[in-house]
Chain A
């Protein structure tokens, strides 16, 4: 494990030096709030944020991606992205979510590999930023994460007053730190202590959600009328799924003009939408919000446990914070677990 300290104002210098030809992504204060975007200078970066509004999944799995173009009978495949990325500042929960998405986009048997996602992931260095002060809606520790979790990250950074403490947690992270070693100062003992204390404090302040036995519970109560009650407020929009760092459903459609030229695109899709399950016959097996919200919860807390061995929720709290009717997933889980 390599460690090193830099001053905050040297962050961009470090990232760009180590980057070489890589693109640098970092949190910026954009038109719609905090977002991850390609940056070109230090002053674009903001460190004053709890988390981004949209999860960083869109860096690897964009909302709209052209897969191939066509004109008449000629079909041209779009080359898989080659660009290499450095992503700075994603929170440990979102870093963890990337390991889940990895499982979806490259299944362990190796049968289905998603070249678009994987190419971007392969060439990326993830530098995550430990949370100093988790939000009141955060619950990562209840779903296997931590405000200073290392999973999914190549380097974990602690924010200490005017300095940043870098700590590599993968070979790729170590290589990154080696290439820029001249810029790092030796991490001193009090830096390490401060980081440790900060991590402990953040963790201790987190609310605890008891999800023990939740999977077994929800598997048994699929038909329970309680689902009607807990989903009554749901409006049926897709805000929770689009902001969620682990939601990964997509749709593939063709768009063309009158001349027969066009493209095939992959776009995000949401289990909350009527079109998601509409059959060609006109039959729709999930017609109401109860069924759709149940699917969302079952998928995250049961089906993915069967398929990948993990709960696909990292406790980032975005769905709680941005739900137009404050339909709180913590409440729903608590209610279900008490059944």
Chain B
């Protein structure tokens, strides 16, 4: 999938993270009781996942809330240490948080601010320049580039608190990239943003990946993000890996249905006998049929209905994902 070769950027083997949580029932008596005897429950947030990512790859991390996406990203960036399993990013063990490692990665969380609230972004950028030991020349060049791509020029000198959510996110991303990280972790980078801002950030991430060959791992609730950016997706659910491969393959392996669109000269006869009618307009009917029955239903339709045109399609990705998540993990 990737043209780059050599050692992998990210290597994860049999990674597990178990949280030990203190269990308590509601009510005063229960709280008092829990003071004396605490009951603990072990919750596996990530339950044995294995994958690796080549340098320069953009991988989408999909899963419903609580699937273990953020926990995985935090382990990869070094904020959490794994309960068991192997983990390596750029040849480093993340949780040791060696300076050399931290200088080559960045984690952007859509729901958390890193920039100082009260001062203009440019001042925080300058602080980052010093902390990451970026030379003035490199800083200038990178800032120009980021400001250009993200249209930051009008925002740089305003206090962060005066910026809109979308503007703030653009500044956050710029701050995280000034040191040109080789590996970029994005946790819901477009959450809460309007469509224009989402699109801007999406195209920016694609551009950054292209220009610098950075490895990008991205989680998002918006399929549009994933479709636009990631040829490869990793789906996790209940801490387990359900799928690792390209998007088209995801649809193929998880959708039990196909959509058949039938066009006719006139009228819209009742086609309920052939499959589930999704929509029926004048001269056009869309049916949902089980995948294994596609050929048979198509043949019958062509045979028995005055069809002028017939197309067979995969359902939209959103639908497939929803279907996957509504099932229990195996």
The reply to whether chain A is a binding partner of chain B is no
Measuring CB to CB, which residues of chain A are less than 8 angstroms from any residue of chain B?
none
